[in-house]
Structure 1
Amino acid sequence: MSNNASCTTLVAKFYGVNPRSMQRQYKDYLSDFKSWDQKSHARNWMLFPQNIGGYLSLDETAFSNGDLYTIITNKSAKGKTGAIIAMVKGTKAETVINILRKIPLKQRSKVKEVTLDMAGNMGLIVKKSFPNATLVIDRFHVQKLALDALQEIRIKHRWDAIDLENDAIEKARSKSLKFTPELLKNGDTLKQLLARSRYLLYKSSSKWTKNQSQRAEVLFQRYPDLEKAYNLCQNLSWIFNNSKDKTSALIRLAKWDEKVRKAEFKSFNTIARTMSIHYKNILNYFDNRSTNASAESFNAKIKAFRAQFRGVRNIDFFLFRLASIYA
C-alpha cells in the first residue's frame, strides 16, 4: 500500500494514461477511501481500540504546514500493521484525553507502561487515560537535552571565533596586509575546528576516527570547558547503559548532579533541575529499559511516507493510506 502512488504512476505510464488521472481513479474507485469508517473525522482524530496493548509509546509528529498530531502506538506491533492506536490533531491534553476515553476503561486499564518525553501535557494524557500505566521518560530524550547543552557551548565558541577572525581580517585590511588565519596542529583554523567538531561530540571517544581523535585533542586543549561538558554527557550515557537497577541509578544520577553543579554550566544546571523534577519517571526506565525508540522510528516512517508522495496535498486520503498500512 505504501507504494500505491509510485505503482499507479508506473502503471499509468506503461499504458499511456495520465498519472494524476489514474491516481484519482484509484482514490475514488479502486480504494476503500469513500467507505472508510473514520473518514468524517480523520483529519481531527483517528482511533483504533483493537490495537491497544500493554506497552505503548506516546509522541507527536508534524504532517504539513507545521500541524502537529499526537500519536499513541503499540510497541509490540514494531511499527507495522496494528501499530497505531490513536492519532489526534494538536497536542492539547484535554483534546487527546477526550478521544482516548472513547476506548472503554476496561481496555485502557490493561495498559501497563507508556514511554514519553518530559512535556507536561504528555504526562497528563497518560495519567488521565491509562490509570494503571507506569510512566517512563525516554532516556534518549534526557540525553538529547544534555547533548544540546554541549552543542550550545560549542556554538557560542564558534561565534566568538568568527568575530575574532572578522576583527583580524578588518585589521589586516586597514594596514593593506593579507590576512592569513592561524592553522592549528591538525590543520584546521579555529573556526573550522569548532564547526568540524560537531559530530565527534555526539559520539563516544571509542568510536572516534583517527582524524576525530586528533581534532578532539586540539579542541579540548583550546577549550577545557567543552571537554568538561563532553565528559558530563558521556557520564550520563554511561549511567543509563550500566546501572542495573533504580537504586544504583539514583545514586549515580545524584553524583552526576553534583558534578553538574560544580561545573557551573547554566544549561546543564537547567537539565539537572528538570531531571530532579521528573526523576521518578526517569528511574522507571530501569524496570524494563523501555525507550521511545519505536515511536521515533514510526515518526521516521511517516516522514518517509510523506516524502514519497511529495508532501500531503490531500490530508484525508493521506491519513487513509497511513491507517491502511499501520492501523
Structure 2
Amino acid sequence: MDETSFSNGELYTILTNKAGKGRKGTIVAMIAGTKADTIIAILEKIPIKARSQVTEITLDMAANMGLVAKKCFPNATQVTDRFHVQKLALDALQEIRIKYRWQAIDQENEAIEKAKKGTKKFEPKVLSNGDTLKLLLARSCYLLYKNKSKWSENQIERATLLFELYPDIKKSI
C-alpha cells in the first residue's frame, strides 16, 4: 500500500497484491486521496474474509497508512518498505557526515584566525588525494549513496581516506 501523485498534485492510494507480479489482478484498489477514513471506507467493501487472509502488508511510515492497515487487515504484519528504511539510514549517515564537515569548517576558521594573529600564512592540510578535510567531507556525499561496486577510482580513494579518519561512518554503511 502506497500513495502516489499523478497530474495536478492529486494524491491516490494504491493497494496492490504482490503475488500478482504485475499481471491482471495485481492492483486491488486505487483510491483518490490519502485520508485514512476514506481509504478504510472503501477497503471495508472487500469482504472481511478476504482481508483476513492478508498476512503481510508493506507500507511507508505514514501514520494514516498504519491505521488503514490495522483496521482493514487485522491479521497482517506491517512491514516498512525498503525505500523508506534505506532513506532513514542514509539520512542518518549524511547527518553524521555533515556534523563532521561543520567541525572541519570550524577548525579551519579557527586556524585561519590564529594565522591572522600570528606571522604564519594559513596553509590548510592537504590529504593524499589532494582534498582538504573540508573538501573530503563535502565530496564524499554522493559516494555514500552509491554501491561500492559503482565507485569511481576517485571515490574509492576518497572513501578509504574518509573511513580511516572517521571509522564510525564506515560502521554505518
Q: TM-score range by the shorter chain?
A: 0.7 to 0.9
| Other-structure match for 1:165 | 108
SS at the partner of 1:153?
Answer: helix
- Going by fraction, where is helix more abundant, 1 or 2? 1
| Other-structure match for 2:33 | 89
Report Cα offsets for 1:51-98 as digits up to 9, x if no partner: xxxxxxx123356897754332344363999636123423x4333212
Distance 2:2 2:44 in 1: 18
Matches within 5 A, 1:72-151: 72-75=15-18, 76=20, 78=22, 83=27, 85-90=29-34, 92-109=35-52, 111-151=54-94
Distance 1:176 1:64 in 2: 63
Unpaired segments ≥5 residues, structure 2: none
Distance 2:74 2:54 in 1: 8
Q: Give the TM-score taking structure 1 as reference length.
A: 0.43
Higher relative contact order (CA 8 A, sep 6+): 1
SS at the partner of 2:39?
Answer: helix
Percent identity of the aligned residues?
Answer: 64
Contact 2:17/2:25 (<8 A) preserved: no
Q: 2:135 aligned to 192, 199, 223, which one?
A: 192
Distance 2:168 2:99 in 1: 12
Matches within 5 A, 1:215-254: 215-230=158-173
Distance 1:192 1:100 in 2: 52
Indicate whether 1:70 and 2:13 are aligned. Answer: yes
Q: Name the Cα RMSD after superposition.
A: 3.5
Query: Which residue identity does 1:192 align to in structure 2?
Result: L
Instruction: Label 1:176 to 1:85 Cα distance change in 2 as closer, same or farther (>3 A).
Output: farther
Distance 1:143 1:170 in 2: 40
Give 1:221 deviation, angstroms: 2.0
SS at the partner of 1:135?
Answer: strand
Distance 2:88 2:23 in 1: 25
- Going by fraction, where is strand more abundant, 1 or 2? 2
Indicate whether 1:60 and 2:60 are aligned. Answer: no
Distance 2:22 2:124 in 1: 52
Query: Which residue identity does 1:213 align to in structure 2?
Result: I
Q: Give the TM-score taking structure 2 as reference length.
A: 0.73
Instruction: Label 1:79 to 1:65 Cα distance change in 2 as closer, same or farther (>3 A).
Output: farther
Instruction: Label 1:229 to 1:135 Cα distance change in 2 as closer, same or farther (>3 A).
Output: closer
SS at the partner of 1:60?
Answer: strand
Unpaired segments ≥5 residues, structure 1: 1-57, 231-327
SS at the partner of 1:71?
Answer: strand
